A and B are shown apart, each in its own frame.
Chain A
């Protein structure tokens, strides 16, 4: 048994917070009513859904009416992109995205390309940033949507979202931001940003899996993906996932409180301790992503002469949960498209490691990782025919 268990994969998913679980429990059992029913059971559920929607809206400074609950972040991305494509195809059929999006965005755009839409994929620089000049140059008469992620899941880079929105809106083009990694972790204000669409996910912020939301600015027209009873203001039919929505609302309250209490600063401090410790203790470690404009809980690094899966399994054996963009961990033969788009060579991308901190991560946890990781890396390098000059 490992000496310690340290979960550092919060970009994959977060544990359900105790208070979120408590808030959800009644709605899994005794408060089972359908929010669309007129009787007391239904009204009780409706009230809970409405209150939760208000909490979620408050987190991003939106109006409750602008929050459409979905079955997760991927569905919200699909609704934003396909919903726009179908609603606006009379005006144009050109969509702009970036090379480092989540598959929920990339694959949706590629599917639309097969349906006859045109796609421009913006490159990123070595820190994972899109260029505003590139975006500006890509916008055409027929462009109906710019969809770019707020912050990247693999390398933590935060995009220049304000400039992205300003650039697109100056030419009258709608903007969708995939905020799954950002919302709940850094302050996000849709009024200030003026974005049209923003994706959120509950399980990335200590809420339950299977529930997310799409912020849809008032007046922005979308075609629904799911037709039926007309729930969620006609944009997402189906009886509401009451317990999930209540959990999402409780998670939003928690996130609001954490942001007010300085979670960004504390997570940044531990993240910097981790990143500095890694580069101090391990030769040929290359931090990936932007050095400053990055998520406060996100550390990502590539090691020369290391294969990611081996590293993850050795870390796991020592009680540390992490992830990697290596080919072997993705189930495909290609390493992460994000790392490759940033110009990181294949052989280095195989040695990528992502460590994402959470609200319960302690300094002791970080020190434990800084004790174990250098040994894992040096042991694997000793096994390898490559990079002998390092060991």
Chain B
């Protein structure tokens, strides 16, 4: 049911954990539904210098977290905001239909973290 890429990232996720003193933090999902994704970013010169995630959820939620953090690392904030759930899905080699919301959480998690950073930095 899952692609090899999803299983690989689920078993060995990249950028897992928490960053000390993050510049932005975004949390999406809720435990009732069985998915929570929390994204931490460090921003330098308008670029995502470092990023990590903590995720409670199924294999596709963890794989999507790992994938999206890899995809936006080093990108400018505006570039990162353009990464969509479809892009994440494509890189993962697809997700089963009932798991598409996991890739949506990844997109929303990045947006929430950037929004948090901009709010804190006073940028509109």
Interface residues of A (CB under 8 A from B): 305-310, 313-314, 317, 326-328, 331, 333, 335, 346-347, 350, 382-386
Contacts and interface: CB of A to CB of B under 8 A. Distances in A.
Contacts of B17: 382
B58 A310 contact: yes
Contacts, number: 63
Given A310-B58, A331-B98, 6 more contacts: A307-B57, A313-B7, A327-B34, A328-B58, A385-B38, A386-B56
B38 A307 contact: no
12 contacts: A306-B56, A307-B58, A308-B58, A313-B59, A327-B34, A333-B33, A347-B31, A347-B32, A383-B13, A384-B56, A385-B55, A385-B56
Nearest to B10: A313
A310 B57 contact: yes
A376 to B, nearest CB: 11
Contacts of B99: 328
A385 B58 contact: no
A309 B61 CA distance: 11
B100 interface: no
B13 A347 contact: no
A313 B6 CA distance: 11
A238 B56 CA distance: 50
Given A347-B34, A385-B38, A386-B36, A309 B55 contact: no
B11 interface: yes
Contacts of A308: 58
A384 to B, nearest CB: 4
Contacts of B36: 384-386
B59 A309 contact: yes
A383 B38 CA distance: 10
B56 A307 contact: yes
Nearest to A329: B58
A313 B62 CA distance: 12
Closest 9 CB pairs of A and B: A385-B54, A384-B56, A328-B58, A309-B58, A347-B31, A385-B38, A350-B34, A346-B32, A386-B56
Contact of A385 (B27, B33, B34, B59): B27
B19 interface: no
B63 to A, nearest CB: 10
Given A305-B56, A383-B16, A384-B54, A328 B10 contact: no
A331 B1 CA distance: 12
Contact of A383 (B7, B32, B35, B62): B62
